[in-house]
Amino acid sequence: MTRNYDLGERAKGMELNRERILDAAWNLTEAAGFDPVSVDDIAAEAGVGRATIFRHFGSKTDLYEAALWHRMSQVDLALVDAAHQRPDPVDALAAVLRANCDLFDQIGDALVRCLEVARTNDLMRQLIDASDLGRRVDALSRLARRLHDAGRLAPVLYR
């Protein structure tokens, strides 16, 4: 007798587990920070075994990279990109600041926790630099150059 096995249902279950793990990692980090949260804490919160986390992500840092990308995929980055494209650099700066405030509000405190960890944790710093957030530094540098080129920046006084 042949057993009928539905890979579609199994794939759906694996994806649900992955989503629960990502949400648990993000929520726990938002509440407590990166270092105090263990893989066991995340597994318990997600309702999965520790091995399931390592099977999906390989390491705690890989899990947080995935959680960061997952969270970033849930926000509308196009608004920030559109703000950078405004023709007038001063108008663009104001729009970029508004759009980034909205973005950080959507992402929540876990991003702040990730940035705090990045100060002392090389792996987290690399993660932040490799993420879309690292791309923002380049975009802001280009905007500053546009403001400079348009003569819209006050001279910097050095002591």
Q: Which two tokens stand for residue 139?
A: 């975009």
Distance of CA 25 to the CA centre of its chain: 12
Q: Which CATH number belongs to the domain containing residue 100 in this structure?
A: 1.10.357.10
Q: Which residue range is the domain that position 70 belongs to?
A: 9-146
The per-residue pLDDT for range 21-38, each reduced to its tens digit, is 999 998 898 888 778 899
Residue 50: pLDDT band with limits 50, 70, 90: very high
Residue whose pair of structure tokens reads 């508004």 in the numeric block: 98
Whether the pLDDT of residue 79 is over 80: the answer is yes
Q: Which of 135, 117, 137, 132 is nearest to 61 (CA)?
A: 117
Task: Look at the pTM and tell me if it is higher than 0.85.
Answer: no
Phi/psi of residue 109, nearest 5 degrees: -70, -20
DSSP string, 44-55: HHHTS-HHHHHH
Distance in angstroms (rounded) separating the CA atoms of residues 146 and 140: 10
In a domain, 151, yes or no: no
Q: Does 1 reside within a domain?
A: no
How many residues make up the chain in this entry?
A: 159
Domain contains 52: yes
pLDDT tens track for 148-158 = 899 988 777 66
Count of domains forming the chain: 1
Task: Identify whether 91 is part of a domain.
Answer: yes
Residue 100 in tokens: 């980034």
Instruction: Tell me how far apart the alpha carbons of residues 80 and 89 are, in angstroms, rounded to a whole number.
Output: 14
